[in-house]
Amino acid sequence: MFITFEGGEGCGKSTHAKMLKDYFELFQKEVVLTKEPGGFKNNLRKILLDNDQSLEALSEIFLFAADRVEHVEKIIKPALSAGKIVISDRYIDSTIAYQLGGRGLPEDMVRYINWISSRGLLPDITFLLDIKIEEGLQRTVERGVMNRFEKEIMAFHERVKEKYMDIASKNPQRIKVIDTYRSIDEVQREIRGFLKI
Ligand code: TYD
């Protein structure tokens, strides 16, 4: 099973991905918890998130794509082939939300690059954690140094959120929108409810 978590800045994806891994492990399931960018250790994550780096939107999408090829080929596919559950914090829907929605790159191109970089591998289920933009950004401020995306203007984050909601409404079978305006335990319970163990 291949599960992904998606959402805007500070939505709590990493916390829920980790909690879900712990839950599966209670049932003796083998789980690989991974993330993008940087699921397969390389310097691309640093380049992509570095505040001092100015990147053209086109260079940015190519670097995310390269990072994903490495991730899919070296981490995700081998784990799935070995019968493990893979949980990834961000995957193809981030590219749609951020590079298509946020940056405004052409749709056909973004979808094609996503198709190539993911080798056509779609998640079985995706949890899109919904949070108010201001609240999420506030959390990232509290965490400390903000990355290149967290520092983007409000309109950028609004476009990202709008695109996320758009793809969720078009893929209701795969993408489950999870309301996070509740306790962490309630949110996690809803997530687990979608999974058969
Ligand atoms: P990260 O520090 O991993 O933070 P988060 O906790 O928000 O996941 O930052 C990853 C950033 O990269 C995030 O702002 C979204 C962005 N991103 C894209 O723009 N396109 C992509 O395809 C991916 C995978 C991530």
Cβ(24) to ligand 1 under 6 A?
no
Determine the distance separating the centroid of ligand 1 and the alpha carbon of 28, expressed in angstroms: 30
Determine the distance separating the centroid of ligand 1 and the alpha carbon of 117, expressed in angstroms: 16
Q: How far apart are CA 97 and CA 8, in angstroms?
A: 9
pTM here is: 0.96
* Mutation to probe ligand 1, out of 13, 93, 98, 140 (largest number of atoms < 8 A from CB): 98
Q: To 5 degrees, how large is the angle CA 69–CA 175–CA 94?
A: 40
The whole-number pLDDT of residue 145 equals: 83
The whole-number pLDDT of residue 51 equals: 86
Can you say whether the dihedral through the CA atoms of 44, 47, 51, 55 is positive or negative?
negative
Cβ(49) to ligand 1 under 6 A?
yes
CA dihedral 83, 84, 87, 93 (to 10 degrees): -20
The whole-number pLDDT of residue 158 equals: 97
For 20, 25, 27, 70, the CA distances from 85, given in Å and listed in that order, are 11, 10, 12, 18
Cβ(147) to ligand 1 under 6 A?
yes
Q: Is 8 annotated as a binding residue?
A: yes
Q: Is 13 annotated as a binding residue?
A: yes
Determine the distance separating the centroid of ligand 1 and the alpha carbon of 36, expressed in angstroms: 7
Cβ(149) to ligand 1 under 6 A?
yes
Q: Which atom of ligand 1 is nearest to the CA of 90?
A: 24
Cβ(37) to ligand 1 under 6 A?
yes
Domain boundaries, the chain: 2-193
The whole-number pLDDT of residue 128 equals: 98
List the pLDDT tens digit at each of the 197 positions of the chain.
999 999 999 999 999 999 999 999 999 999 999 999 999 988 999 999 998 888 999 999 999 999 999 999 999 999 999 999 999 999 999 999 999 999 999 999 999 999 999 999 999 999 999 999 999 999 999 988 889 999 999 999 999 999 999 999 999 999 999 999 999 999 999 999 999 88
According to CATH, the topology of domain 2-193 is: Rossmann fold (3.40.50)
Determine the distance separating the centroid of ligand 1 and the alpha carbon of 39, expressed in angstroms: 12
CB 117 within 8 A of CB 183: no
The whole-number pLDDT of residue 47 equals: 94
